[in-house]
A and B are shown apart, each in its own frame.
Chain A
Amino acid sequence: QVQLVQSGAEVKKPGASVKVSCKVSGYTLTELSMHWVRQAPGKGLEWMGGFDPEDGETIYAQKFQGRVTMTEDTSTDTAYMELSSLRSEDTAVYYCATDLLIGRSMDVWGQGTTVTVSS
């Protein structure tokens, strides 16, 4: 049984960066493909990027290209999502999600990390 545990809430000023972590247990990170999805208050789900096992590369949504970096530390089975040049519109709950059942299923989710961007 895989479990994803995310880091705690963050409050950042406009222009700053935030780095959210997602700790994997029950599996090793190398066995999984990790995705990041965010949800602004009262809004829908938005895919930010994820690892594509067929290409062996991390693919980013075009909207976030150049501003987001997704990395992994296989020694601690922890995935990271760093978003830079924050603005108020980046205020959202950020989720990590992984494909355990089948590729591109996003069937296991972290609990979410609230990021608030405010001056």
Chain B
Amino acid sequence: QSVLTQPPSASGTPGQRVTISCSGSSSNIGSNTVNWYQQLPGTAPKLLIYSNNQRPSGVPDRFSGSKSGTSASLAISGLQSEDEADYYCAAWDDSLRAVFGGGTKLTVL
């Protein structure tokens, strides 16, 4: 059972906008920033969003993040087939330990 809660699956058609939610508590998301990772099959995770809504260099602006209270969201607009992957949210808690969501498998129909 993961500390952060994500839906196990999400789907969309090419060009659509999809959002993935991540729910936590006051001791993690509520008081610290959120990161999002994309993991393609058989590869290491890749940082997609950091500090709630910042994109590392090279990440398309189709990906955006937001946070409100103890929840966060990842939005992907203009969905593309190559976006099909697992997505994980992560945050640090007040004991300086990182916690992950259980992951959301995104399918592009």
Binding site for B on A (CB under 8 A): 35, 37, 44-47, 49-50, 52, 54-55, 59, 61-62, 95, 97, 101-102, 104-107, 109-112
**Given A95-B44, A112-B44, does the pair A45, B96 have CB atoms closer than 8 Å?**
no
> Does the CB pair A104–B98 fall under 8 Å?
yes
> Does the CB pair A107–B50 fall under 8 Å?
yes
Binding site for A on B (CB under 8 A): 2, 33, 35, 37, 39, 44-47, 50-51, 56, 88, 90, 92, 95-103
> Does the CB pair B46–A102 fall under 8 Å?
no
Bound CA span A49–B96, Å: 10
9 contacts between A and B (CB under 8 A): A45-B37, A45-B103, A47-B97, A59-B96, A101-B50, A104-B35, A104-B98, A105-B35, A112-B44
Bound CA span A58–B56, Å: 26
Bound CA span A95–B42, Å: 13
Bound CA span A110–B35, Å: 18
> Does the CB pair A44–B47 fall under 8 Å?
no
- A114 CB, min distance to chain B CBs, angstroms: 11
- A103 CB, min distance to chain B CBs, angstroms: 9
> Does the CB pair A35–B98 fall under 8 Å?
yes
Bound CA span A102–B56, Å: 10
> Does the CB pair B45–A105 fall under 8 Å?
no
Bound CA span A105–B46, Å: 11
Other-chain contact of B101, A44, A52, A59, A101 (Cβ < 8 Å): A44
Bound CA span A61–B98, Å: 8
> Does the CB pair A46–B100 fall under 8 Å?
yes
